[in-house]
Amino acid sequence: MNSLIESLKLIELHLKMQITTICTFPVFNPEVIRAEVEAHTSFLVIFLERAPYIRDGELVILKNISTLVKTLLNMTRERYDFHFQIQELAIGLNESGQTTQSNSHLVSNHKFSQNQVEILEQWYQSNSEHPFLNNQSTLELQTRTGLTVTQVKNWVSNKRRKEKTQSVSKELEPFLT
């Protein structure tokens, strides 16, 4: 039973270190943190299923772990949302500090590279059941393609519109074939 308390203390320490990481480092991977929290949660479920009763010392540590997990998940969500908002603001400003919308007449229209279109098409095909962007998908596509958030959002929106107009309703299909 002593090794179980040590394991719980290690989980508690690890969660504290993750919180320190989020507070200290400007860049972190929320997926890694989520995966580690899930692994800790799985261990705790097994621990609770096998323990015939919980001692006072274990209960205190379990309450601390619960609080740390909630705090960690909230901090991760807040940092991720904050990071996304900052990127949106940074994209909206040019070097002179004016928004790019006021200079939109200076931006030339051009096609995306074949690589950019392939990346966007791959995402669209893999999300064809629900082809709507979330913050994480938008940032990932922006990073992978080098496009702005607005360009990524517009491309996906236009793609959905094209798919919708190209598809024929099932009721009309027999008349067109």
Which residue, 122, 132, 127, 126, is CA-closest to 157?
A: 132
Neighbour tally for 119: CB within 10 Å: 19
Position 122 scores a pLDDT of 92
For residue 108, pLDDT over 50 is answered with: no
Give the span between the Cα atoms of 142 and 148, in whole angstroms.
6
Which residues neighbour 129 within 8 Å (Cβ) at sequence distance 6 or greater? none
pTM value surpassing 0.95: no
pLDDT interval class at 1 (50, 70, 90): low
Position 123 scores a pLDDT of 92
Position 166 scores a pLDDT of 65
111-165: CATH architecture? Orthogonal Bundle (1.10)
Burial 81-114 (b: 16+ CB within 10 A, else e): eebeeebeeebeeeeeeeeeeeeeeeeeeeeeee
Domain layout of the chain by residue ranges: 2-92, 111-165
Q: What is the pLDDT of residues 45-89, one digit of tens each?
A: 888 888 778 888 888 988 899 899 888 888 888 887 777 777 777
Decide: helix, strand or coil at residue 153.
Answer: helix
Quick check: 116 and 122 in contact, CB under 8 A? no
Q: What percent of the chain has pLDDT over 90?
A: 12
Comparing 27-36, 87-96, 157-166, which segment has the lowest mean pLDDT? 87-96
Q: Determine the length of the chain.
A: 177
